[in-house]
């Protein structure tokens, strides 16, 4: 099946004997056994639940992975991922990561003995030079949050071939609909399912996907042991969201391209960061490794006053954290997504008081541009 059909039809629920078109919510914490040494395949929902299992199979299918694990949040997924490593292990990470990932790495993972180097992973020679004998993983986000830089996934894989270094890709922004990291050499794919996979800003979820059965087994053990599993009802909501993933991504991307072009013409806008612009420094890499550019835009305005004017002036667009829903949201990274990143580091990456980020939704494009226009006036 093509990916848009998989989004709709997914993977069949083997536990469903009723013919229900929608996957049922198996709202049960535990499951009875037919007898000693006999099982229905389920025992306790922390280990597995039929609704969650269907969702995990759908996500694995969409990513062309062998296994996917559902978590209560995206950060729960990343926290579990870090348990693959031991004290002294070194991880190279994109310097322009989601602020929550940086907060976790700096305040929890480092405390547990892991070592990190944050670099511009778009610069492949720099990545190569940072590898040491202790390096166990390269964690990249592409496009990055919030500066929309692109890392050449295949090029990173080329420099670690023949080693035991894991290539981890956060695919939240583009989703498997626009980007397939496993085909480019990734070992593990990360998602905040709260975002585009869910698509409606109504639940939290996270995923780890892998194409390696040994890694999957290790992650499943950590998952059941630490217990941050995705609940049945939340699994149901993400399944429902994925059904419209393809059409939402296409419409949101169409809107984003139009808004990016409009922003470029505004006198008070000094820079626009969108991977779909031919002027973007990584445009060629993006064209090569993805089938779309997504719907995330960051832009810089001429002053902090203008930034505040826009945030307080929008009427249709909402000033809110998060992204990937049907509603268009505008975010102030320095005070929201990256508030816990030290100011010096944040500003060195361009995350200043003039930078705004838009998650473009699926509304009528004229309404969105009119709203931005009146807020800028």
Average pLDDT, the chain: 96
Same domain, 268 and 228: no
Residues 189-210: what's their mean pLDDT? 98
pLDDT band, very low/low/confident/very high, at 303 (cuts 50, 70, 90):
very high
Res 16 pLDDT > 80: no
pLDDT score at 197 = 98
Domain boundary among 223, 242, 261: 242
pLDDT tens, 326-346? 999 999 999 888 888 888 888
pLDDT tens, 255-278? 999 999 999 999 999 999 999 999
Residues 343-359: what's their mean pLDDT? 91
CATH code (residue 317): 3.90.1150.10
Same domain, 277 and 237: no
User: Is there a domain that residue 112 lies in?
Assistant: yes
- Produce one character per residue of 154-173: b if its CB has 16 or more CB atoms within 10 Å, e if not: bbbbebbeeeebbbbbbbbb
Active site residue 332: no
pTM, whole model, 2 decimals? Answer: 0.96
Domain extent, residue 103, equals: 11-242
Catalytic hit among 115, 157, 195, 268: 195
**Phi, psi of 168, deg, nearest 5:** -110, 130
pLDDT score at 340 = 80
Indicate the helix (H) or strand (E) that contains 51.
helix 50-63
- What distance in Å separates the CA atoms of residue 294 and residue 252, rounded to the nearest whole number? 7
User: Is there a domain that residue 163 lies in?
Assistant: yes
**Phi, psi of 233, deg, nearest 5:** -65, -40
User: Is there a domain that residue 348 lies in?
Assistant: yes
- What distance in Å separates the CA atoms of residue 316 and residue 124, rounded to the nearest whole number? 41
Active site residue 118: no
Same domain, 114 and 257: no
User: Is there a domain that residue 3 lies in?
Assistant: no
Same domain, 146 and 273: no
pLDDT band, very low/low/confident/very high, at 86 (cuts 50, 70, 90):
very high
**Phi, psi of 250, deg, nearest 5:** -65, -50
Active site residue 251: no
Catalytic hit among 42, 98, 177, 274: 98
- What distance in Å separates the CA atoms of residue 326 and residue 369, rounded to the nearest whole number? 16
Same domain, 280 and 190: no
Q: What is the dihedral of CA 13, 14, 19, 25, to 10 degrees?
A: -50
Burial of 107 (0-12, 13-18, 19+ CB in 10 A): exposed
Catalytic hit among 67, 95, 152, 170: 170
Same domain, 126 and 251: no
Same domain, 82 and 163: yes
Res 169 pLDDT > 80: yes
Active site residue 283: no
Instruction: Give the contacts of 71 (CB within 8 A, at least 6 positions apart).
Output: 77, 80, 205, 206, 207, 208, 223, 228, 229, 230
Instruction: Quote the percentage of the chain above a pLDDT of 90.
Output: 92
Residue from 191, 201, 221, 234 nearest 78 by CA: 191
pLDDT tens, 32-43? 999 999 998 999
Same domain, 187 and 284: no
Residues 74-103: what's their mean pLDDT? 97
Tally of structural domains, the chain: 2
pLDDT score at 338 = 87
Res 17 pLDDT > 80: no
pLDDT band, very low/low/confident/very high, at 15 (cuts 50, 70, 90):
low
């Amino acid at each position: 099946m093509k990916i848009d059909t998989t989004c709709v039809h997914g993977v069949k629920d083997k536990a469903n004997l009723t013919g229900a078109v929608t996957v049922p919510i198996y709202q049960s914490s535990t499951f009875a056994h037919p007898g000693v040494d006999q099982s229905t395949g389920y025992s306790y929902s922390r280990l597995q639940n039929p609704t969650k299992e269907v969702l995990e199979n759908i996500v694995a299918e969409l990513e062309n992975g062998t296994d996917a694990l559902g978590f209560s949040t995206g950060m729960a997924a990343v926290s579990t991922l870090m348990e693959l490593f031991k004290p002294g292990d070194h991880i190279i990470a994109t310097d322009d990561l989601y602020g929550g990932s940086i907060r976790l790495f700096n305040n929890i993972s480092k405390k547990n003995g892991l070592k990190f180097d944050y670099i511009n992973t778009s610069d492949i020679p720099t990545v190569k030079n940072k590898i040491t004998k202790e390096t166990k993983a390269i964690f990249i986000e592409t496009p990055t949050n919030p500066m929309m830089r692109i890392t050449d996934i295949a090029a990173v894989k080329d420099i670690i071939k023949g080693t035991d270094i894991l290539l981890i890709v956060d695919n939240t922004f583009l989703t498997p609909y626009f980007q397939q990291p496993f085909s480019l050499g990734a070992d593990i794919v990360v998602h905040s399912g709260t975002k585009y996979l869910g698509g409606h800003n109504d639940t939290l979820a996270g995923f780890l996907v892998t194409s390696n059965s040994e890694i999957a087994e290790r992650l499943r053990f950590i998952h059941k042991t630490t217990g941050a599993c995705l609940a049945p009802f939340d699994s149901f909501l993400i399944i429902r969201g994925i059904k419209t993933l393809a059409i939402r991504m296409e419409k949101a991307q169409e809107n984003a391209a139009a808004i990016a072009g409009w922003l470029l013409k505004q006198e008070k806008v000094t820079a626009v960061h969108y991977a779909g612009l031919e002027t973007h420094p990584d445009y060629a890499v993006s064209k090569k490794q993805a089938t779309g550019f997504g719907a995330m835009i960051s832009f810089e305005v001429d002053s902090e006053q203008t930034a505040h004017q826009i945030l307080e002036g929008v009427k249709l667009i909402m000033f809110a954290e998060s992204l990937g829903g049907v509603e268009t949201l505008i975010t102030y990274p320095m005070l929201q997504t990256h508030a816990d990143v030290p100011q010096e580091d944040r500003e060195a990456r361009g995350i200043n008081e003039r930078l705004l980020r838009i998650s473009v939704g699926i509304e009528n494009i004229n309404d969105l541009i009119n709203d931005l226009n009146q807020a800028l006036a």
